[in-house]
Amino acid sequence: MPVLQFNQVPYEIVKDGLQRKIIRTNNLMTVLIDFSNGPWEEPEPPHSHPHEQTSYVAEGEIIFYCEEEADQHLKAGDMFAVPSGKKHTIKLLTKNARLVDSFNPIREDFL
């Protein structure tokens, strides 16, 4: 799909407090992720994947954790990048947060 109009494409409910919308090409994927279950006492468990990832914090505040890096307190307008294979996670500091994640190659596990 070359265009995703926000009000015409329903959210995919991933789990309670987490929903997303996805647009992709053959090699690039952008995922809009809305969290509504913060703030969190603890971060989500760290994970890694073979995909390169960049993320834009569109709303809210988070702490970004990345293997071998200093923890980063990020707010709307901030961005982060994750190299392939590096363990990372986040912790929500606000009730709501919106991230815009891009992945290369696409995450087949999200489809």
Residue 95's CATH number: 2.60.120.10
Residue 2 has pLDDT above 90, yes or no: no
The pTM score is: 0.94
Q: How many domains does the chain have?
A: 1
Position 1 scores a pLDDT of: 57
The answer to whether residue 58 sits within a structural domain is yes
The answer to whether residue 26 sits within a structural domain is no
Residue 43 has pLDDT above 70, yes or no: yes
In angstroms, the CA 34 to CA 20 distance is: 6
The answer to whether residue 11 sits within a structural domain is no
Average pLDDT (1-24) is 93
* Burial per residue of 90-110, b for 16 or more beta-carbon CB atoms within 10 angstroms, e otherwise: bbbbeeebebbbbbeebbeee
Tell me the residue range of the domain where 62 lies. 34-104
Residue 84 has pLDDT above 90, yes or no: yes
